[in-house]
Every structure is written in structure tokens, then in C-alpha cells.
Amino acid sequence: MPVLLLVMAGAAFACRIAGFVAMRFLPPSARLEAALRATPLAVMAGITALALQAGGLVEALALGSAVVLTLLIRNDIFAAILAIGVAAGLRALGF
């Protein structure tokens, strides 16, 4: 499991660095800006897909709550933190 965490952290770091490299060598365009904005979401989708594959009902409910909370409060970081709280609460209830 620590190896997967390191790989995911490395992928997230590489995506961030790729954005800086792209901004340095590529001319700015709407397409490049859209790609750079989508990169963190793609990394997060990969991480959540792994969690759903390995997990069960608690992980699915936490992910669903993260999606709903993101749509309601328009803050993905805060929604993710609240979804972690949902998962912790469900685990505490014995799910």
C-alpha cells in the first residue's frame, strides 16, 4: 500500500510539474488552459477509482457524499474533508 501511495503522489507531482513546463514552452491557449484545469480532477478520479475498487459500501457512500457536497458548497477541498468525515462516521457506526 505505501508503494501505491508513493506512485499516486509521484503522478500528482508530475502532473503539476507538467503544467509549469507546458506554461514555459507552449504558447498560452484556451485548450492548454482547459487541460491544465482538468489535470487535478483526473488524478483525483484515479485515486477514487482505486478506493472504490478496494473498498465497499462505506467508500461508495463517502464518494457519493463528496460529489453531492461539491455541487452544493462549490468547494472541492472542503467537500473532500467532509466526505472523509462521512466515511469515519460510517466506520464508527460499524459499517
Domain ranges of the chain: 1-54, 56-95
8 Å CB contact between 68 and 47: no
8 Å CB contact between 27 and 20: no
Confidence of residue 1 (pLDDT cuts 50, 70, 90): low
Please, what's the b/e burial string for 77-89 (b: 16 or more CB within 10 A of its CB; e: otherwise)?
eebbebbeebbee
Q: What is the pLDDT of residue 42?
A: 78
Which one is predicted more confidently, 32 or 69? Answer: 69
Confidence of residue 23 (pLDDT cuts 50, 70, 90): confident
pLDDT over 80 (residue 39): no
Query: CA 95, CA 88: separation in Å to the nearest integer?
Result: 10
pLDDT over 90 (residue 89): yes
Q: Cell numbers at residue 19, please?
A: 503544467
pLDDT over 70 (residue 22): yes
Q: Cell numbers at residue 54, please?
A: 478496494
